[in-house]
A and B are shown apart, each in its own frame.
Chain A
Amino acid sequence: MIEARDISVAIGGKRIVSHVDFTAQPSEVTAIVGPNGSGKTTLLKALTGELAYAGTVTLNGRDLSSMKPVEAATLRAVLPQATALSFPFTVREIVRLGLIGGRSGVLPGEDARLPERALARVDLDGFAGRFYQELSGGEQQRVQLARVLCQVWAPVLERRPRYLFLDEPVSSLDIKHQLIIMNIARDFARRGGGVVAILHDLNLTAMYADRIFMLHGGRLAAAGSPTDVLNDELIEKVFDCRLKVGALPAGSVPFVLPQSAA
């Protein structure tokens, strides 16, 4: 379990996240939602130890601040929102970086083939030899996800659950790949791991999240199941936008929901 108590983060004297309590259970997809600038990414960076925070964060009962980088890397992998690369690495080299610190959890001999398997998972079969910088934004995002998957390939290692932290994992993907990636996240949770994902698409959130933490102005506005959190009042208050949950558009306007995927 990931347990964070009374988390506050200030950047340059300005407080971005205030007194947030957060938990994420293994075997669940936990979504963090909220408008732009509500502190989602900052909260995630505190939970992964990237930013200094006040409060406590524990991973499987151990204090995050007392963990060495390599210990934390064995328990969780982190997908950042964007990754700028400084040298012309190939896709295979990038994905293989996922294996350098943590433990994938596969048999020793299988590590060498893991990058190819991870790429196939994110629908990038045959991309291993390409240059990362020549790929499109959405393809690069999936390469990074393949790297992250390599790091914690087995969702449970030595009977301890492991975690994926995903910052807007589907932000630059087409609908097919949004579904592929969210299915990977759900599958990781079903096999005993935990997933924490920042999401903007409320339909995908409703479809895949077991629990939702809704942030507003750096504070926790609501937490609970999709049915608890996704209601007209909360959405209007938090997103400052009058929307009706479950309302169908008028007659002739087509609409496509991810929920209709076969």
Chain B
Amino acid sequence: MPRLLLGVLIGAALAVCGAVMQGLFRNPLADPGLIGVSAGSSLGAVAIIVVGTTWLAPVTLALGTLALPLAAFFGGLAVTLLLYAIATRQGRTSVATMLLAGIATSTLAMAITGILIFMADDRQLRDLTFWQLGSLAGATWPKIGTVGPVIVLALAAMPFLSRGLNALALGEATAGHLGIPVQRLKYTAIVGVSAAVGASVAVSGGIGFIGIVVPHVLRLAIGPDNRYLLPASALLGASLLLIADAVARTVVAPAELPIGIVTAVAGAPFFLWILLRKRGVVDL
């Protein structure tokens, strides 16, 4: 039961965050992974796994089983706040700068993660690998109690962004001329996405492609209007992740496949197929 609920929450969070990021960066290929939120979360989690019993022992002792999700959450948030500070000049946030700085920060976070992996012993390596591939297997009520409210709050804020994101499709200047408070819109979207994604990565590791594939499929089916796209993404994201989890649990039973592998194996070819089919019609 906690596992089902967690699947619903995370599937919805990843898909909605993908849709919001794509609207914000005005690019259908944008994804929470792109601006480094996922990499920051991973760094936080890997740090707890590898040095949690040595350098970070006080943290681990104080937080117990919550140390890992909290570290991942704050890792993602820290990266987002850093990027936001870098990309904001004179009260305006440059989305392009943030994207590029996100790539640099991602690389740096992954390098530090790499160093930690290099330091890890055999048992830790196994933990790490499984965590990075993503899984809903660790679902417990305390974990849901930690990340659930964060995800629900962040998702609840998203419908208020939909009209602004629609206007943003015409460019930031035009959205402003239409009466949208663009700076506040960007701030809300970025904080909401990093909170929801940080929380998701924290409990389930890296689950790829939901954030790109779900909004993309829905845009083909119901159009790009964010007023419908965001709620529909939540529904489809949740359903897809539950299906993927069911597959992950049954395909090699009694063992269990990491869910990140399932979403990637199914998602990547599907995404390529969409790209090939739509070539020439939608300019990426």
Chain A residues proximal to chain B, CB less than 8 Å? 45, 48-50, 52, 68-70, 72-74, 76-78, 80, 83-90, 93-94, 97-98, 100-102, 133, 151
Judge whether A101 and B179 touch: CB under 8 Å: yes
Q: Which of B156-174 contact A (CB under 8 A)?
A: 163, 166-167, 169-171, 173-174
For residue B225, which residues in chain A have a CB less than 8 angstroms away from its CB?
89, 93
The answer to whether the Cβ of B27 comes within 8 Å of any Cβ in the partner chain is yes
Judge whether B181 and A69 touch: CB under 8 Å: yes
**How many angstroms between the C-alpha atoms of A74 and B179 in the bound complex?**
8
Judge whether A151 and B174 touch: CB under 8 Å: no
Q: Which of B23, B26, B169, B281 has the most CB of A within 10 A?
A: B169
Report the 3 A-B pairs with minimum CB-CB distance, sorted nearest first: A101-B179, A73-B179, A87-B224
Judge whether A97 and B170 touch: CB under 8 Å: yes
For residue A73, which residues in chain B have a CB less than 8 angstroms away from its CB?
177-179
Cross-interface CB contact of B178 among A68, A93, A98, cutoff 8 Å: A98
Residue in A closest to B181 when the chains form the complex, CB atoms = A69
**How many angstroms between the C-alpha atoms of A189 and B54 in the bound complex?**
75
Cross-interface CB contact of A151 among B26, B90, B178, cutoff 8 Å: B178
**How many angstroms between the C-alpha atoms of A131 and B200 in the bound complex?**
36
Residue in B closest to A74 when the chains form the complex, CB atoms = B179
Judge whether A97 and B178 touch: CB under 8 Å: yes
The answer to whether the Cβ of B219 comes within 8 Å of any Cβ in the partner chain is yes
Residue in A closest to B185 when the chains form the complex, CB atoms = A69
Number of A-B contacts (CB under 8 A): 82
**How many angstroms between the C-alpha atoms of A133 and B219 in the bound complex?**
15
Cross-interface CB contact of B171 among A76, A77, A84, A98, cutoff 8 Å: A84
Judge whether B283 and A133 touch: CB under 8 Å: yes
**How many angstroms between the C-alpha atoms of A74 and B178 in the bound complex?**
9
The answer to whether the Cβ of B58 comes within 8 Å of any Cβ in the partner chain is no
The answer to whether the Cβ of B28 comes within 8 Å of any Cβ in the partner chain is yes
- Closest Cβ of chain B to A94, distance in Å, is 8
The answer to whether the Cβ of B138 comes within 8 Å of any Cβ in the partner chain is no
The answer to whether the Cβ of B67 comes within 8 Å of any Cβ in the partner chain is no
- Closest Cβ of chain A to B175, distance in Å, is 9
Judge whether A100 and B178 touch: CB under 8 Å: yes
For residue A97, which residues in chain B have a CB less than 8 angstroms away from its CB?
166-167, 170, 178
**How many angstroms between the C-alpha atoms of A114 and B171 in the bound complex?**
23
- Closest Cβ of chain A to B186, distance in Å, is 13
Residue in B closest to A48 when the chains form the complex, CB atoms = B177
Judge whether A86 and B180 touch: CB under 8 Å: no
- Closest Cβ of chain B to A194, distance in Å, is 16
Residue in B closest to A148 when the chains form the complex, CB atoms = B177
- Closest Cβ of chain B to A182, distance in Å, is 21
The answer to whether the Cβ of B176 comes within 8 Å of any Cβ in the partner chain is yes
Judge whether B170 and A68 touch: CB under 8 Å: no
Judge whether B171 and A100 touch: CB under 8 Å: no
Judge whether A102 and B28 touch: CB under 8 Å: no
Q: List 16 A-B contacts (CB under 8 A).
A: A45-B173, A69-B179, A70-B179, A73-B177, A73-B179, A74-B179, A78-B173, A86-B28, A87-B224, A89-B169, A93-B223, A94-B170, A97-B178, A100-B167, A100-B178, A101-B180
Residue in B closest to A165 when the chains form the complex, CB atoms = B177
- Closest Cβ of chain B to A130, distance in Å, is 13
Cross-interface CB contact of A70 among B28, B181, B219, cutoff 8 Å: B181
**How many angstroms between the C-alpha atoms of A87 and B177 in the bound complex?**
19
Given contacts A80-B171, A93-B223, 8 further A-B contacts (CB under 8 A): A45-B173, A50-B176, A83-B174, A85-B169, A88-B223, A88-B281, A97-B178, A100-B163
The answer to whether the Cβ of B282 comes within 8 Å of any Cβ in the partner chain is yes
The answer to whether the Cβ of B213 comes within 8 Å of any Cβ in the partner chain is no
Judge whether B181 and A88 touch: CB under 8 Å: no
**How many angstroms between the C-alpha atoms of A94 and B27 in the bound complex?**
17
Judge whether A83 and B170 touch: CB under 8 Å: yes
For residue A78, which residues in chain B have a CB less than 8 angstroms away from its CB?
173-174, 177
For residue B23, which residues in chain A have a CB less than 8 angstroms away from its CB?
87
The answer to whether the Cβ of B182 comes within 8 Å of any Cβ in the partner chain is yes
**How many angstroms between the C-alpha atoms of A73 and B281 in the bound complex?**
33
Residue in A closest to B178 when the chains form the complex, CB atoms = A101
A72-B179 CB under 8 A given contacts A78-B174, A80-B174, A86-B27: yes
- Closest Cβ of chain A to B93, distance in Å, is 15
**How many angstroms between the C-alpha atoms of A68 and B219 in the bound complex?**
32
- Closest Cβ of chain A to B281, distance in Å, is 8
A69-B176 CB under 8 A given contacts A87-B219, A87-B224: yes
Judge whether A87 and B178 touch: CB under 8 Å: no
**How many angstroms between the C-alpha atoms of A77 and B171 in the bound complex?**
15
A89-B180 CB under 8 A given contacts A80-B171, A100-B166: no
Residue in B closest to A131 when the chains form the complex, CB atoms = B281
Judge whether B178 and A86 touch: CB under 8 Å: no
- Closest Cβ of chain B to A41, distance in Å, is 11
- Closest Cβ of chain A to B114, distance in Å, is 34
Cross-interface CB contact of B223 among A85, A89, A98, cutoff 8 Å: A89
Judge whether B223 and A90 touch: CB under 8 Å: yes
**How many angstroms between the C-alpha atoms of A35 and B203 in the bound complex?**
60
